[in-house]
Structure 1
Amino acid sequence: MTTTQDLPKLPFPPADTVLRIPPRFRQLLADRAITKVRTYAGDVAWMPTRYDDVKALFDDPRLGRAHREPDKAARMNESQVLGRPSGDFDGEERNHTAMRRLLTPAFSARRMNALRPRIGGIITDLLDRMAADGPSADLHRHLSFPLPALVICELLGVPYEDRERFRTWSTDMANMVDGDLAEAASAEFTAYMTALADRKRSEPADDVISDLVAADSLSPQLVARLGVGLLFAGHETTMTRIDMGTVFLLSNPEQAAALREDPALLPGAVEEILRFTSTESNGGVLSRYAREDIELGDVTIAAGDLVLIPAGIANRDAAAFDDPDTFDIRRRSSVPHLSFGHGPHFCIGASLARIELQEVFSVLLTRFPTLRLAVPVEELRLRTATVTGGLAALPITW
């Protein structure tokens, strides 16, 4: 019988390369549908691994980010992003519904597609600057960070000149180890967003923060929290996928060549990059709390229990995807990946992320036909202290 002392402990030992998920995740996928694990913070949580279960839990209203007794709740880690409960337990669903109603038009596929020319222009400008400094560069510094930051700042109405400040806050508030650092960064970030929202009240503009400020259904505190969350998610997660998508393609040169020759492969290539990019390797697992008892197979998840939802691991389930650990831009599957979630909590920025990735990889490989990694892939290292993962640097040459 397994005791709490014997539970699998996060983080799991990494694989030999950033291209693979930790072997323990693969073992759990094969061995059991749901298991108890010990989190980074030392607490106990449930973690499903199979695609069907993860998809069902994404769609289950009995899970939420809030907890009735947050001070007693299990924690994932010390991060202010995914590490602990957030929000008002009694008002969570009401606030979520109001937020979705406001933000859905702002992040609609139509509005995001209208941004394509602007995004393409930003990419061209960034790559021109990178080429001028070539023939070697850090793609992370030249493209993966500044592009999503520029785009989300423009969309939200956040001054881009403040990017280094919110970049530091984003990194620090997502720190999984130093709770004091994460809390201080969250407080500073929230204060910044509160001041920005106050300014938008007297000087509204055509941007998302102005839209939130004008909504009577959202409190000033919730506006600030939503602004922080949108700014964080809008640049951190896309940044990671630009980095890792580049690594996957350059590590599969025949697929990179095919993508250069046939632009029709681009949408499928982006979906495979999204499916293959896992932040679970270093802690980026969604944390949710059971609002009431949930039966999952022969397991009862009790009300108040912490549930970790590893979308990136479910995306490697052989029951859902053929040969799931093979990166294949020509993959044809009737099963959608879960990288943006599922159901009413499906990521509101999915269209924007897809467009940014499509625009990046439509240009990068053709602009630099001899592009390659400047170091062996085994030397690339994930950012291990922050929940969003990704690479600290991506040395390339051409």
Structure 2
Amino acid sequence: MTTQELTTPRCPFRLDPLAPDLHGENEHLRTMGPAARIELPGGVLATSITSQALAKRLMMDDRVSKDPRRHWPAYNSGGVPAHWPFRIWVDIRNALSTYGEDHARLRQLIAPAFSPRRVRQLLPGIESIVDSRLNDMATRAEGTVDLRKDFAWPIPLQVVNLMLGIPEDLEETFRHLVGANMSTHHSPEQAAANGKAYYELLDSLVETKRRSPGDDITTHLVRLHDQGGVSRKELVDSLMLLVGAGHETTMNALDQACVSLLSHPAQLALVQSGQVSWDAAIDETLRHQSPVANILLRFAVETIHDAETATTIEQGEAIVINLAAAGRDPLLHHQPADFDITRAARRQHIAFGHGPHYCLGAELARLELRTSLERLFRRFPSMTLAVPAADLEPQPSFISNGHQAIPVLRARKIPVPLHRRAEQPA
């Protein structure tokens, strides 16, 4: 980005759809104030909230909605183009994009999938999925392994598939389309094609579960629809939310945790020795590199004046909660750009949201992260990055905060896990 392309506080800052320097953009937005005017690709204007305190207040405020049909005049008046690349984020009707009673009703539909009992029941399956990926990595020929493709990407998706009862023959297609719909650089035509393909895949899953029901959340939602409890759109869009949110947040958190720990070997040693917990490393990762960088969109139900920041958000204005910037808020964190798992304020982040829309799957994500990281670094304790961390290419997205690939070199000798040793004959 050139100096000429930087905007003044009076003009909207145009987000780069390729997001080559996510945190650099956020630092510029911060100079424009806690609520900076931005232009999303496609010419849609919004306000980016970079202050964590302001973001939390707005996320708890009844005067802030996630329902564009009721509270975004530009959406209803045709001000948002029909071919806008991000329409899928506002056209959906599920717990992510509704307000008030509708939000409570749709959230309650999927809440049972994330009960403490259900999450505990998933642990053996998660351990099996992680060990399967590690065994696969261990049998590869000498050379590099891509931790993104071979580890961080498949584990959360397979866990989501386990919860939703997705058949194996559909797994690879889901894997491709989830990633495609998180990218922010596609043309309007490609974005529309990706969305159409995603809906066709979800429709196929619904019909599969209607023919062959199981003990999974998809079957549960299909039965509710057949009993008149939810509309067809609410059913399919709720599945889209579960697949996207259940996969993307955990995948990127796992991606970023691996990169951060491998590029800070002294801190990795603290965790491996037990001096610092895996939970501490996970929270610092979530703060330092929020796995979802920006959440689209919220809307001001009425004009809001925040006295603490002297910020005014006009009625009908679109709001982007900038999770990546909020995690590095200098008012909360000393040297916020530093990765430090011993940081006392490491839990001061909103990577899983805040308030009524707090992520239902947060505890499941933490369980996946803890299990995956613990097993990965026990199995490959001498793993190193094959290239400097600064040379890793980011995902072309200002929504999804991860890498395109994470090439690593494994240890020359890979220890066999204890439970596998016990199975070997004497």
TM-score surpassing 0.5?
yes
Q: 2:409 and 2:304 mapped to 1: Cα distance?
A: 51
Could you tell me which residue of structure 1 aligns to residue 57 of structure 2?
A: 56
Of the structure 1 ranges 117-126 and 40-49, higher mean CA displacement relative to structure 2 is found in 40-49
Query: Whole-Å Cα distance in 2 between the matches of residues 110 and 260 of structure 1?
Result: 29
- Residue 138 (1) aligns with residue 146 (2): yes
CA shift for structure 1 position 154:
0.7
The match for 1:295 among 305, 312, 316 is 305
Q: Which has the higher mean CA deviation after the structures are superposed, 237-246 or 185-194?
A: 185-194
**Does the alignment pair 1:149 with 2:157?**
yes
Alpha-carbon contact 1:152-1:235 (below 8 Å) kept: yes
**CA spacing shift, 1:5–1:342, aligned 2, 3 Å:** closer
Counterpart of 1:161 in structure 2 is 169
The equivalent residue for 1:232 is 244
Counterpart selection for 2:373 from 361, 366, 373: 361
Q: 1:195 aligns with which of 193, 197, 204?
A: 204
> Which runs of 5 or more residues in structure 2 are unaligned?
1-6, 411-426
Residues 1:81 and 1:377: Cα distance change in structure 2 (over 3 Å) = farther
Instruction: Give 1 or 2 for the bigger CA radius of gyration.
Output: 2
For 1:6-58, what per-residue CA distance to the aligned partner results, in whole angstroms no more than 9, with x for missing partners? 43221299677xxxx53342244355221212222223211221111011112
Q: Tell me if the contact between 1:67 and 1:73 (Cα under 8 Å) persists in the aligned partners.
A: no
- 1:107 corresponds, among 114, 120, 142, to 114
- Alignment-derived partner of residue 337 in structure 2: 325
Question: Which deviates more, 147-156 or 112-121?
Answer: 112-121
Alignment partner of 2:219 out of 207, 210, 228: 210
Computed over aligned residues only, the root mean square deviation of the Cα atoms, in angstroms, reads 2.8
Structure 1 residues 314 and 267, CA gap change in structure 2 (3 angstroms):
same
Task: Give the match's secondary structure for 1:106.
Answer: helix
Whether the 8 Å CA contact 2:383–2:408 is kept in 1: the answer is yes
Distance 1:364 1:377, change over 3 A: same
Is 68-77 or 304-313 further displaced after alignment?
68-77
Q: Are 1:194 and 1:220, in contact at CA under 8 Å, matched by a contact in 2?
A: no
What SS does the aligned partner of 2:213 have?
A: coil
Q: Distance in 2 between matches of 1:192 and 1:273?
A: 33
Is 1:250–2:262 an aligned residue pair? yes
Contact kept? 2:261, 2:268, Cα under 8 Å: yes
Number of aligned residue pairs: 390
> Are the aligned partners of 1:9 and 1:39 in contact in 2 as well (CA < 8 Å)?
yes
- Structure 1 pair 107/47, CA: closer, same or farther in 2 (3 Å)? same
Cα distance per residue 1:180-199 (max 9 Å; x no partner):
22222222222222232234
* Alpha carbons 1:276, 1:312 under 8 Å: kept: yes
Checking the alignment, whether the CA contact within 8 Å between 1:104 and 1:348 is kept in structure 2 is yes
> 1:37 touches 1:44 (CA, 8 Å); kept in 2?
yes
In structure 2, do the counterparts of structure 1 residues 79 and 279 end up closer, same or farther at CA, with 3 Å as the change threshold? farther
Runs of 5+ consecutive residues of structure 1 not aligned to the other structure: none
Fraction of identical pairs, as percent:
30
Q: Which TM-score applies when normalising by structure 1?
A: 0.89
Query: How many angstroms apart in 2 are the aligned matches of 1:272 and 1:187?
Result: 37
Change (3 A) 1:171 1:81: farther
Residues of 1 paired with 2:384 and 2:370: CA distance? 19
Task: For 2:346 and 2:265, locate their aligned partners in 1 and report how far apart those are by CA, in whole Å.
Answer: 26
- Structure 1 window deviating more from structure 2 (112-121 vs 217-226): it is 112-121
Q: Give yes or no for contact 1:67–1:86 (8 Å, CA) kept in 2.
A: no
Determine the C-alpha separation between the residues in 2 that align with 1:223 and 1:331: 42
Query: CA 1:80/1:356 → structure 2, altered by over 3 Å: closer, same or farther?
Result: farther
